[in-house]
Structure 1
Amino acid sequence: MDIIAFSIDVVKYVLAGCMVVGLANWMFWKKYNGYTFRLKMLEQKHAAKKDILPLRLQAYERLILFAERINPVNLLVRLHQQGTDAEEFEQRLINEIRAEYEHNITQQLYVSDVAWSVTRQLKDNTVALIRNAGKGLQANASAKELSTVLLNHIAALDGNPYEIAVRTIKNELMG
């Protein structure tokens, strides 16, 4: 009879334990599921950020490359052709800057507003610089004369705007 009483006690304790576990599960089910749901959402968000990081780095790299490519020092060397007049050369320079800008326009999705604003302003200022240099020349001026005026103007500036723009873009990436 002791074995039967022992078995009944074991069954009572097991049932009581199951009831306690069931009641605790019922009470905390909503909270537990909400926690795991939020945890999964955070994991997905983190994974998405990890996937975007290479794109962001590439976008900042493209902006720095853009700043270097539209720098008149580099642009003049790359596009200069012997025998070209200033007006034709001016148009070629502006078209090249616009093409570079349009090629990189989607990079604004991955960079800060400040970095993109600096890039856009650098493009606009470079186009204005080229147009102003062209206005100051005679009608039959050569591309070499336009190049000389542009380089003299950049040399006269207190700070190189292209170096400042690159520094600003780098600071935006690191900051």
Structure 2
Amino acid sequence: MEDRLIESIGYILPAVVTGFVAYYMFNGFIKQQDSDKKLAFLAQKKKDSLPIRLQAYERMLLFCERINPVKMLVRIKPISENTNEYLQLLIASIEQEFEHNLVQQIYISNDSWTAIVAAKNAIINKLKQVEETVNSANELRETVLIDYSKKLPPTETAIAFIKSEVKKII
């Protein structure tokens, strides 16, 4: 009886050991396959989202170019000599451009979005400050153009930030 028990253990033990080895090998193989599939999926997702993100950065760069005070004041001429009307026209133009591109914040970094909003607000504040000190719409226009010919507008800072962000993701 003892011989049969030892003989049975002799047959069962290698089968159990082989079973455990096979289980761990297949389990490791399956985990590796899952990991590879997840990495491939993430790589494909990143590849698919890259054009959308780049387009968002392009649109925000264009927004910054359009609200650049020098370019905007050349593009939008005063319709009357009323300073407040011209200021409201300029602010409305900036806000309209901003609202048109508002959804792009989903695709760009928070830092880029913050830089863009700060540039927009700085330009509006500058326009309001100058409006308080001038007497006509043309004088507002000339004063802002002269001020920004001496120093870089805030949009240039935002554009530089956008460009650095794009370099990081490419």
Give the TM-score band, short-chain normalised. Answer: 0.7 to 0.9
Q: 2:119 aligns with which of 119, 122, 140?
A: 122
Deviation per residue, 1:102-156 (Å, 9 max, x gap): 1112212222222111101000001101111111123xxx321110111122123
Deviation, structure 1 residue 20: 9.2
Deviation, structure 1 residue 77: 2.1
What is residue 75 of structure 2 aligned with on the other side? 78
- Is 2:116–2:155's contact at 8 Å kept on the other side of the alignment? no
Q: What is the identity percentage for the equivalent residue pairs of Structure 1 and Structure 2?
A: 35
Which moved further from structure 2: 23-32 or 95-104?
Answer: 23-32
What is residue 174 of structure 1 aligned with on the other side? 167
Q: Distance in 1 between matches of 2:79 and 2:99?
A: 27
Helix, strand or coil: the match of 1:80? coil
Deviation, structure 1 residue 170: 0.3
Q: Provide TM-score, normalisation by structure 1.
A: 0.79
Q: Provide TM-score, normalisation by structure 2.
A: 0.81
- Is 1:70–1:97's contact at 8 Å kept on the other side of the alignment? yes
Helix, strand or coil: the match of 2:111? helix
What is residue 47 of structure 2 aligned with on the other side? 50
Helix, strand or coil: the match of 1:166? helix
What is residue 68 of structure 1 aligned with on the other side? 65
In structure 2, the CA distance between the partners of 1:160 and 1:51, relative to structure 1 (3 Å rule), is: same
Q: 2:84 aligns with which of 83, 87, 91?
A: 87
Gaps of at least 5 residues in structure 1 are: 1-18
Q: Distance in 2 between matches of 1:52 and 1:174?
A: 16
Deviation per residue, 1:22-67 (Å, 9 max, x gap): 6643332222111111111111111100011001111111111011
What is residue 5 of structure 2 aligned with on the other side? none
Aligned length in residues: 154
What is residue 132 of structure 1 aligned with on the other side? 129
Q: Distance in 2 between matches of 1:82 and 1:106?
A: 31
What is residue 37 of structure 1 aligned with on the other side? 34
Gaps of at least 5 residues in structure 2 are: 1-15
Which moved further from structure 2: 20-29 or 163-172?
Answer: 20-29
Deviation, structure 1 residue 98: 0.9
